[in-house]
Amino acid sequence: MAWLPSPLRRALHERYDRVRAEGVRQGLAQARADRSPDRYRYVFVVTYGRSGSTLVQGLLNTLPRCLMRGENDLYVLPLARAMISAERWREEHTEHGAFDDTSAFYGLKAIRPAVFAQSINDIVTQCLVGRYDPADYDVIGFKEVLWHRIEPEETEAFFAAMDQAFPGARYVLNTRDLDKVVKSGFWRRTDEDEARQLIARVKEVQEHLRATRPDRVLDVRYEEELQSDVTERVLEGFRAAGVRPPTAYMRTPGSAAAA
């Protein structure tokens, strides 16, 4: 552009700089929006094995713009534990010279719960969406049957961490007749007393959620899921939980097996 008059060259350079700066600002704003914990609505199915949770997963996946993944070894539990532990350690030693570069606790103040929460959200969200286009979904989550791994004394701390990482998360509490559960699938290869104890622990977790987050739970019972009239009630519950309903009446799963 050397052949252009100097005033025009300056004007073009200034315009280019403005466009580039605006593009950077828009890019940063989009990146922040993409990482916002509020970008999606999160739904987690809290249950035990052989309760019909795979059927619930399928019901949710029939809803438009909803992506419900399967079991994942409850990997969010150690992530939340790391966040809880770091936060407690920070509070315990907050006065022990965290700003003194000669202190054993130097830099402790830099450990921030918000950073942990954002990182948990990033990990889980990216693992859930996978190779799909993130713009195709409004609601994402997973179903899991290993909630008994949450120790009783850490129950509220765990779900408080979940609240930080996934603001407004909803919980579907799936249940089934216990006598039928322990005689179904893999439970038949487990000592019945042990099976009932593990299931009882999950029921304690479910009850905790009902008591502490009543406006964010939906109870679903396997025996009712196969009835068309109750299926509509379940879908209405999903609507109330912030999950968009299907445009047409959903077909009844019929004889789907519990999982």
Each residue's pLDDT tens digit, 55-82: 889 888 888 889 999 999 999 999 999 9
Angle at 247 between CA 241 and CA 252, to 5 degrees: 80
Whole-number pLDDT of residue 8: 67
Mean pLDDT of 231-254: 52
- What pLDDT, in 10s, does the model give residues 171-215? 999 999 999 999 999 999 999 999 999 999 999 999 999 999 999
DSSP 77: H
- The mean per-residue pLDDT over the stretch 236-252 comes to 51
The structural domains of the chain, with segments of one domain joined by +, span: 39-240
Do 80 and 74 touch, CB atoms closer than 8 A? no
CA distance 83 to 194: 30
In the predicted structure, residue 103 carries a pLDDT above the cut 90: no
Residue labelled with tokens 């552009």: 1
Q: Among residues 65, 83, 172, which one has the least CA distance to residue 124?
A: 83
| Rounded mean pLDDT, 244-254 | 40
Q: Which CATH number fits domain 39-240: 3.90.550.10, 3.40.50.300, 2.40.128.20, 3.30.565.10?
A: 3.40.50.300
Average of per-residue pLDDT values in the chain: 83
Q: What is the pTM of this model?
A: 0.79
What are the pLDDT digits (tens) for 129-180? 999 999 999 999 999 999 999 999 999 999 999 999 999 999 999 999 999 9
**141 neighbors 42 (Cβ within 8 angstroms):** yes
E strands along the chain, which residues?
A: 41-46, 66-69, 139-144, 170-175, 217-221
Count other Cβ atoms within 10 Å, centred on residue 174. 27
